[in-house]
Structure 1
Amino acid sequence: MYALSWAIRSKSEWQRKISDPTILEKWRKEALDQQNASRIEEKLTSNLINYVLTELAGYARLSDPTTGIESGPFDAIWFSDCLISNELSDRLRGAVSQLENIPDELKDWHPGSNGQVLDLVHPSLYCIVYNRTESSSGSTSLKIDSPEYISFVTSERFCWLPSDFSVDPMDGSVQLISPYINNLHPTRHKALYPIVESVLGAFIPLFERVLSQVNGQDQDLYCDITPGSGRIMTKLSPGTDGKVEVPDNATDEEYEQLEEAAPKVLPEAFEKYKGELEKTIVPYSLRGKTIQCIIKLANIHLTPENAEYKGGSWHVEGMLNENIVASGIYYYEEENMSESRLAFRVTTGAPVYHEQWDFMCSKILYRMSKDSYCCQDLGSIATSANRALAWPNIYQHRVSPFRLVDPTKPGHRKILAVFLIDPSFERIPSATDIPPQQADWIFETLQELCTDPGSLFSRLPVELVDLIAENMPETFMTREEADEYRLELMKERTSFIPVWERDSSFSFNMCEH
């Protein structure tokens, strides 16, 4: 049902077309015709198709024509193709060029990316290193300790470093509170700071929709349970006398085939849409709040010699240390790239209200069979240029493969990502608490002070200045140290993914205890 709805809502001008009865009837007929070739777990009844078509008006009401925000392929995924103005997008491209136009030997190609992913601002560099990074408050400094509670989803060693932003209570505009954004020099890259604030301000209504729908997701709204029955189940159709002839020596596979072929009655959705979408929205506002965000800028570059991006791995952003509640990406430029999609899936609990033997109903409703992983695909969305996208960080996501359209020319795709720290949790250490850890920033500042006639540093002997530079506090990291910590962080989080998948995507069986 979600797939059918998203296929329709991916059409151009779908909100206008749903008011045309002729077009709706055409879509209904096409959907019904397609069921003949569908597998049983993919078949939709005419009632289910009717529900999807009548539900479209609800999706239209949730859309915002001013910002272009619409619901995506699944609940709590929201996007817009006009959220960021052309003027702001142009300013972003211009300011980012300063990060791009540097000598080749200084470019930061992401480790393990086959020379395709160029990191411009990445949170894994100069991150918080527990028991080394220092928090400064007035005249005192204190090392940041590792978390007291440790589990496989918590890092004992590292944490990304967010910045604090205030959200205006009236218009939702955003202003940086922290003195800097990690890995974005506050003087050299000063032009980017107000642009990041403006982009983040545009994302506020997108994030609010994500959080509002996540708050309302624990409601059961969509499926009728047969009156008088304590279990949702596949029931044999009238006239079968409740019996299916099964050979005594039938294997599990043969039994499943017989069960699949038998006529049956399945749970149905409501005959028509009754406002269930609106009921999943529990309004949540970020206005008037101080939020913590992690900023990332990256480009993917393909060349005729390196013409295909193989795609990413399934993952959520960060670990429990960061408390990332939602992710947002703005795809602000692409050239000579084939379509790429961002796919989503989510871990679930074992389906409830099913009899032990009723594997067919679970297969049809959830595409889950006995001993399958409790993980559901949620669909995917194209990551086209100028698209802004946000989703809850409980969803795993993965970038699909793509390649050059013209294999004789280079191509690129550029993104700005924002990771929102859960505002309902206790804040984590940020750039407000922790001074910049980049040793080269400090050296540059020291050199500038030494050449400034108005500074007392200009009066110091060269030997004393060198001594100061050689005895910087431990919290400052050289680029070599930061690179090494990044590799350790990546190794830790790469190791975390399979353990997390194993422990959260558990398989289920239908035995009752």
Structure 2
Amino acid sequence: MPENTVDFSIVHAVPGLGKPLDYVPTENDPLYTGRPLPSALLQNTVESHGFSSNESVLKVLLPLLTVREILMLQFMEQVTDRPEWQKKVFDETIVEKWRAETASGFDFSKDMFEFCIAELRYKAENVYQDPNTPITVYNGDVVKSDSAVPDTVKIALQLAVKSLEDVPDKEKDWHPDSNNMVLDLIHPSLFPLVYGKSRVLKVSEKVVGLTDCVTRCGEGEVLEVKDDENPKANQYRRSISEPYSLKYQWLPSEVDISGPESRIISYINNLHPQQTELYSLVEKVIDAAIPLWERTLAPLHKGDLDFVKRVPCYDAEYKDPEEAEDTQGQNQGRDDDDGDEDEDEDEDEPRQIVIQPEPQPFAPEICQPTLPLSFKELYGAHARPLQIIVKLANIELTPEKPRYEGGTWHVEGKQNEHICATALYYYSNDNIKASHLAFRQFVDTYSVTDFKYDQGHHEFLEDLFGCQNDTGGAQDVGKVETKEGRLLTFPNILQHQVQPFELEDPTRRGHRKILALFLVDPNVRVISTAHVPCQQLHWWRDATTANGGLSGGPAKGLDKLPVELRDQVFEGIEGFPISLSEAKEMRKELMEERKKFVADQANLLERYNGFSLCEH
């Protein structure tokens, strides 16, 4: 074993446990493996005077893209969704058909099309020769694969979740405020780490495993966050919500990747270790997700998010006024229902029309992907487990509720979780129309400060970049279809949003089911289920009433009581372990805290990274 291998069979000090809540490992820390990976949570970026000048902070901001480049990325994403696209891009008949399709739709020029075909052909021959290679789409990087998870695993997962789904209606856990459309099977907001209530093992104690997580229930000490330990980033926020929660943290599981296959070595929060088949299937999906994460996180790990632009644009050039009179607007490439229309223009004055830039000549270095990471080398070789938060959820549609209206724009978690990337596995779609996940990137608004444009003509921002003055620096970059069997990964520097979808046949039920894996930054370990013995009262109750109790001691004989009396005994337990009803109340509070945080993040973006063009 490498000399710097740390013994992870014992508890180590991590943020909130023996270390300040906002602690990140430094080079003299035995847990140090590198700098924290950037995220979009802006936890250290905003001070009372605005953005910090710290270089690492600015890496959450991606280069501003022209509308035309975004259209090119969307077109290439759609092409790579087609079966055998690696062959089709060399078939001139098919390519001409695509050319006609683009020419009849959006503002898609000949040069844009030729560039896309050249890039796709280059990637087909040099990057994606193997049709099973995960495909990177959009800057960031968003990575998709329809073959990473074998069909055998998909079918087995569809069957295995029935043990969680087939419960009495009164026991179904419908997500709050979802109109009984989102069914939570495993959700990290239930029984999270609760500061001031959860019992956490002390540093140097033996960690909790799968076999003893219930028998050790109640071990440890109540974890408190003292007022004088409030992170500095929280203190900067004043009237807006803090990036660090002083109440809750989602609990990840520990996953050993030192061997040939992943092994979950601490319990998945809210999935009993007795569910051995589900544990095994989650491990297989983790194995499939790791190669995609290694691509998604490569630019962040390298510290280089300055992607080469396909369509450079450094100033606004305008059409001749006579030519502009015959031009039909500049919004062909954007959705009509985005709610951003500006009705304040003086209709008596003709709008100046910018000349849309063309892509530069194609060159391989423009689309050269960053070499993937190797989790095995970085972490597995040092016996350093990954920490992964697991969620299982269904969106259920019925003839009475035939349409899901979609989600909100957000990034995952608060800073306590240090989530750096997400993997979503869509393992079952039935009787629904095409559904999508959309992405939005935070961009460097200062990049247009020295832009040359006509006096007072701020509309160039919308015409060229799809953005508006006096709004936050974010760009909608596109969406990916969430097909059955698709595995999708993306970094926590991008916002994402579930798009609306509806039943295909409105006379019968339909669903979309996902397994979500949230990867904790491997360079910043957090409190996990290895540190927190089970908190679920019903897990502990079932163990104490089985086979004469956990140790044949105080609980002996409870199994002989009628169920009603047995439940009354356990309902009388106050404080700890935590009952399901109490956990659901805490979940509401956790969700409200995070809902406010998401809204405040949007306000923060506008206040400190918004477009603010002055007259010149």
Confirm or deny a common fold (TM above 0.5).
yes
- Rounded Cα–Cα distance in structure 2 between residues aligned with 1:256 and 1:210: 47
Deviation per residue, 1:150-170 (Å, 9 max, x gap):
35222121111100102136x
Letter in 2 for 1:409: R
Structure 1 residues 128 and 50: alpha-carbon distance in aligned structure 2, compared to 1, 3 A threshold: same
- Rounded Cα–Cα distance in structure 2 between residues aligned with 1:113 and 1:239: 52
CA contact under 8 A between 1:58 and 1:277: conserved in structure 2?
Answer: no
Could you say which residue in structure 2 is the equivalent of 1:162?
Answer: 252
Match of 1:300 among 386, 395, 402: 395
- Rounded Cα–Cα distance in structure 2 between residues aligned with 1:430 and 1:449: 29
Could you say which residue in structure 1 is the equivalent of 2:503?
Answer: 404
1:4 aligns with 2:101: no
Could you say which residue in structure 2 is the equivalent of 1:219?
Answer: 306
CA contact under 8 A between 1:119 and 1:299: conserved in structure 2?
Answer: yes
Corresponding residue SS for 2:294: helix
CA contact under 8 A between 2:543 and 2:549: conserved in structure 1?
Answer: no
Matches within 5 A, 1:211-250: 211-215=297-301, 217-222=304-309, 232-236=314-318
Could you say which residue in structure 1 is the equivalent of 2:436?
Answer: 341
CA contact under 8 A between 1:154 and 1:321: conserved in structure 2?
Answer: yes
- Rounded Cα–Cα distance in structure 2 between residues aligned with 1:380 and 1:300: 19
1:92 aligns with 2:161: no
Could you say which residue in structure 2 is the equivalent of 1:229?
Answer: none
Letter in 1 for 2:265: I
Aligned length: 479
Could you say which residue in structure 2 is the equivalent of 1:123?
Answer: 188
CA drift at 1:390 = 0.9
Corresponding residue SS for 2:289: helix
Could you say which residue in structure 1 is the equivalent of 2:600?
Answer: 499
Of stretches 126-135 and 3-12 in structure 1, the one that deviates more from structure 2 is 3-12
Could you say which residue in structure 2 is the equivalent of 1:185?
Answer: 272
CA contact under 8 A between 2:321 and 2:352: conserved in structure 1?
Answer: no
- Rounded Cα–Cα distance in structure 1 between residues aligned with 2:477 and 2:319: 31
> Which runs of 5 or more residues in structure 2 are unaligned?
1-71, 207-218, 323-343
Deviation per residue, 1:49-100 (Å, 9 max, x gap):
3222211134434337364521235541111112111211122122211111
Could you say which residue in structure 1 is the equivalent of 2:58?
Answer: none
Could you say which residue in structure 1 is the equivalent of 2:362?
Answer: 272
Structure 1 residues 105 and 360: alpha-carbon distance in aligned structure 2, compared to 1, 3 A threshold: closer
Deviation per residue, 1:352-400 (Å, 9 max, x gap):
3413646455434421232243210011111111111111122111112
CA contact under 8 A between 1:224 and 1:270: conserved in structure 2?
Answer: yes
Corresponding residue SS for 2:297: helix
CA contact under 8 A between 1:225 and 1:267: conserved in structure 2?
Answer: yes
Corresponding residue SS for 2:470: coil
Could you say which residue in structure 2 is the equivalent of 1:314?
Answer: 409
Match of 1:485 among 570, 586, 589: 586
1:285 aligns with 2:350: no
Letter in 1 for 2:520: I
CA drift at 1:255 = 9.7
Corresponding residue SS for 1:51: helix
- Rounded Cα–Cα distance in structure 1 between residues aligned with 2:390 and 2:265: 14
> Which runs of 5 or more residues in structure 1 are unaligned?
227-231, 241-250
CA drift at 1:121 = 0.5
1:434 aligns with 2:434: no
Structure 1 residues 356 and 141: alpha-carbon distance in aligned structure 2, compared to 1, 3 A threshold: farther
CA RMSD of aligned residues (A): 3.2
- Rounded Cα–Cα distance in structure 2 between residues aligned with 1:167 and 1:253: 62
Corresponding residue SS for 1:161: coil
- Rounded Cα–Cα distance in structure 1 between residues aligned with 2:276 and 2:134: 30
1:82 aligns with 2:147: yes
Corresponding residue SS for 1:418: strand
Matches within 5 A, 1:343-382: 343-350=438-445, 351-352=447-448, 353-355=450-452, 357=454, 359=458, 361-382=460-481
Match of 1:199 among 265, 285, 293: 285
Corresponding residue SS for 1:259: coil
Match of 2:166 among 71, 87, 101: 101
- Rounded Cα–Cα distance in structure 2 between residues aligned with 1:409 and 1:237: 54
CA drift at 1:460 = 5.5
CA contact under 8 A between 1:329 and 1:417: conserved in structure 2?
Answer: yes
- Rounded Cα–Cα distance in structure 2 between residues aligned with 1:10 and 1:66: 11
Letter in 1 for 2:86: Q
CA contact under 8 A between 1:76 and 1:214: conserved in structure 2?
Answer: no
> TM-score normalised to the size of structure 1?
0.84
Could you say which residue in structure 1 is the equivalent of 2:483?
Answer: 384
Could you say which residue in structure 1 is the equivalent of 2:113?
Answer: 49
Could you say which residue in structure 2 is the equivalent of 1:246?
Answer: none
Structure 1 residues 504 and 343: alpha-carbon distance in aligned structure 2, compared to 1, 3 A threshold: same
Structure 1 residues 441 and 64: alpha-carbon distance in aligned structure 2, compared to 1, 3 A threshold: farther
Structure 1 residues 29 and 134: alpha-carbon distance in aligned structure 2, compared to 1, 3 A threshold: same
- Rounded Cα–Cα distance in structure 2 between residues aligned with 1:440 and 1:26: 60
CA drift at 1:511 = 2.8
- Rounded Cα–Cα distance in structure 2 between residues aligned with 1:207 and 1:487: 31
CA contact under 8 A between 2:315 and 2:453: conserved in structure 1?
Answer: no
- Rounded Cα–Cα distance in structure 2 between residues aligned with 1:233 and 1:284: 37
- Rounded Cα–Cα distance in structure 1 between residues aligned with 2:289 and 2:144: 10
Could you say which residue in structure 2 is the equivalent of 1:248?
Answer: none
Deviation per residue, 1:296-329 (Å, 9 max, x gap):
1111111222222121111111111111111111
Deviation per residue, 1:128-148 (Å, 9 max, x gap):
111211112449723333473
Match of 2:224 among 133, 141, 145: 145
Higher relative contact order (Cα pairs below 8 Å, separated by 6+ residues): 2
- Rounded Cα–Cα distance in structure 1 between residues aligned with 2:501 and 2:602: 25
